[in-house]
Amino acid sequence: MAWHEYRRYVPVAERRRDASRALAKRTKKGLPVDPVVIEGRTIARTFWGKAWCDNLERYSDFSNRLPRGRTYARNGSIVHLGIGKGRVEALVQGSSLYEVTVGIAPLSRPRWKALVTACSGAIDSVVELLRGKLSSGVMRVVTDPARGLFPAPAHIEMTCTCPDWASMCKHIAAVLYGVGARLDRQPDLLFVLRGVDPVDLIGASTAARPAAKRQGANVIEASDLESVFGIELDAAPSRRPKRRAARR
């Protein structure tokens, strides 16, 4: 396509129909299907989802493309979004179905170690952490642009199969907002994405407290785990699983 030519504008209703067809095709082929579904205009509602989106909007590098990305994310154009260690892979329905890949550098060991130290003694459990029930001091640490969990533009590499020449097209912007929406549902994926283990934060906090206060601090009720992760646990397991050591 020549530089002076433009693709036909595709109305939202048509994009939604095309997205539904793409979902059906992927399902039929047995491919992973995990679309981003946003109800209303609010993309993220929980602490981690909102903090991710706030971080995106903090950087001027992204400001020009983010508004179109928000629109695409809200109207159901993200057909599939998968998050793994240091990588986001997605399909976004525009005038065609585009493949988006976002690479995010892992959190450096010194930065993670400093973050763990800064949060020492302030987090009681993984459930508390993932629910975002943190003190104002811890919230400031984990969301700090220079020392927190969220990536800066320099840590992000983005590609899209669309013909847009910009480093961040509207499809990539939509996917970045889609990550915020996904963290509402699965906040643990932020730690997966940055290549760190949230248990490190709990371990440091537990070690920093007196023994009397540590007793039972890491005991998590089954109902709490079910509500955070959306899983069902056996009421009476036959064997107590071995405790897995935290990754270093």
The per-residue pLDDT for range 132-187, each reduced to its tens digit, is 999 999 999 999 998 999 999 999 999 999 998 888 999 999 999 999 999 999 99
What is the rounded CA–CA span in Å between residue 222 and residue 105? 34
Per the structure, the complete domain to which residue 55 belongs is given by: 12-229
Confidence of residue 235 (pLDDT cuts 50, 70, 90): very low
Does some domain include residue 2? no
Does some domain include residue 237? no
Does some domain include residue 162? yes
Q: Which two tokens stand for residue 247?
A: 């990754």
What sign for the dihedral angle of Cα 165, 168, 173, 176? positive
Does some domain include residue 190? yes
Does some domain include residue 243? no
Does some domain include residue 156? yes
Does some domain include residue 239? no
- The total of structural domains in the chain comes to 1
The per-residue pLDDT for range 80-139, each reduced to its tens digit, is 999 999 999 999 998 889 999 999 999 999 999 999 999 888 888 888 899 999 999 999
Q: Which two tokens stand for residue 180?
A: 């915020």
What is the rounded CA–CA span in Å between residue 21 and residue 205? 48
Does some domain include residue 1? no
